[in-house]
Amino acid sequence: MQHFKTLSSYLDYLGLPRPEHPMLSVFNAKGDGYLPCPRESSPPITNDCYSISFKKYVEGDLNYGRTKYDFTNGALIFIAPRQVLQWDNSVVFERKGFSINFHEDFLKGTALAHQIKKYGFFSYSVNEALHLSPKEEKQIESIVENIEIEYQNNQDVFSKEIIISQLDTLLKYANRFYERQFLNRKEISNNLLEQFNQHLTEYFESGQLQEKGIPSIEQIADKMSVSQRYLSDTLKKETGKTTTEHIQFYLIDEAKNILLQPHKNISEVAYDLGFEYPQYFSRLFKKKEGISPSEYQQKYSLN
């Protein structure tokens, strides 16, 4: 897999102009302008840059997770360093919008270098992009214009600080708009929750717990064709519980049934549920239920 260590080499690969700054590039198509059109397709690649881009969808089949979605509004897409990128020419976008790319070292020594890692949307898939309302578009566009002004001006001792400040503001607004998107897409969120529960049920009932152990969040997300971070964030917004907590709930619920079966000791129950160490199962059970597995057996056994 090809990896690009510098911003310039990555832009060269895309067929885009060299940046004005070695670690920052800003393309902003306003009025009658158009975004430079990068190559139509690419095998998997990675790079050391963050990317924030806004494009309007025109035609092509895109899914939101596994759900078809109307992309008539603009899509704001966030890509983190070393995230695998791959695309083909099946999806067509307007060439209006903006694209901001900056090397991760551009943030070194700033508070944003730490803060940016907390924004989960950099780990989302492209088909889980942020879809802006017209009002939100204008708010984001005004911030990008401020960044572009500093980018195009002669660099001075204040330029980087101002650009970093504007990037920080853009990401804060994006975080707010994602919160709105989670709230407004109850149908999609409910569908995702139903799919998640269905996958867990099928995994438990198929006997894979004993064969393969407790499923990881990554395994389930891959089965559902969504990113791990997006699945976790959606379930958290919808139910107040993390993905891990949902899996633990299933395990404890199943444990209660097995514990009450005749002649089952704690170790056997733990191994049946895919736990490698019975002690970990006992600690988790007591944490969730307030009593140990053996105490649960004594309390509820029909002896």
The pLDDT, as a whole number, for residue 102 is 96
Within this chain, do residues 167 and 251 fall inside the same structural domain, yes or no? Answer: no
CB 146 within 8 A of CB 166: yes
Alpha-carbon distance of 126 to 275, in angstroms, equals 35
pLDDT tens for 192-218 read 777 888 888 888 888 788 778 888 888
Within this chain, do residues 281 and 173 fall inside the same structural domain, yes or no? Answer: no
Q: Which residue has the higher pLDDT, 131 or 60?
A: 131
Within this chain, do residues 169 and 32 fall inside the same structural domain, yes or no? Answer: yes
Within this chain, do residues 179 and 212 fall inside the same structural domain, yes or no? Answer: no
Q: Terminal CA-to-CA distance of the chain, rounded, Å?
A: 62
Within this chain, do residues 171 and 22 fall inside the same structural domain, yes or no? Answer: yes
What CATH number corresponds to the domain at position 169?
2.60.120
Per cent of the chain over pLDDT 90 is 26
The pTM for the full model equals 0.62
Within this chain, do residues 201 and 225 fall inside the same structural domain, yes or no? Answer: yes
Q: How confident is the model at residue 170 (pLDDT cuts 50, 70, 90)?
A: very high
DSSP secondary structure code for residue 82 in this structure: T
Number of domains in the chain: 2
> Considering 161, 184, 207, which residue would you say is the last residue of a domain?
184
Within this chain, do residues 265 and 131 fall inside the same structural domain, yes or no? Answer: no
Evaluate if residue 67 carries a pLDDT over 50: no
The pLDDT, as a whole number, for residue 63 is 38
Evaluate if residue 24 carries a pLDDT over 60: yes
Evaluate if residue 68 carries a pLDDT over 50: no
Angle at 196 between CA 194 and CA 198, to 5 degrees: 70
Within this chain, do residues 9 and 111 fall inside the same structural domain, yes or no? Answer: yes
pLDDT tens for 14-23 read 888 888 899 9
pLDDT tens for 71-124 read 445 678 888 898 878 776 665 555 678 889 999 999 999 999 999 988 888 877
Backbone dihedral angles phi then psi of residue 160, each to the nearest 5 degrees? -60, -45
> Considering 184, 212, 239, which residue would you say is the last residue of a domain?
184
Within this chain, do residues 221 and 133 fall inside the same structural domain, yes or no? Answer: no
Within this chain, do residues 10 and 158 fall inside the same structural domain, yes or no? Answer: yes
The domain in which residue 79 lies consists of: 2-184
> Considering 160, 184, 208, which residue would you say is the last residue of a domain?
184
Per cent of the chain over pLDDT 70 is 82
Q: How far is CA 233 from CA 69, 122, 123, 131, 192, in A?
A: 19, 12, 11, 16, 11
The pLDDT, as a whole number, for residue 300 is 72
User: Which residues are registered as beta bridge partners of 131?
Assistant: 75
CB 166 within 8 A of CB 147: yes
Q: How far is CA 239 from CA 65, 190, 192, 195, in A?
A: 18, 10, 12, 14
The token duo for 231 is: 């699945």
49: how many CB neighbours lie within 10 A of its CB?
Answer: 26
Within this chain, do residues 84 and 119 fall inside the same structural domain, yes or no? Answer: yes
CB 296 within 8 A of CB 259: yes
Within this chain, do residues 91 and 240 fall inside the same structural domain, yes or no? Answer: no
Cβ neighbours of residue 240 closer than 8 Å, sequence gap 6 or more: none
Burial label for 41, CB within 10 Å (0-12, 13-18, 19+), is exposed
What CATH number corresponds to the domain at position 222?
1.10.10.60
For 53-58, what is the mean pLDDT? 68
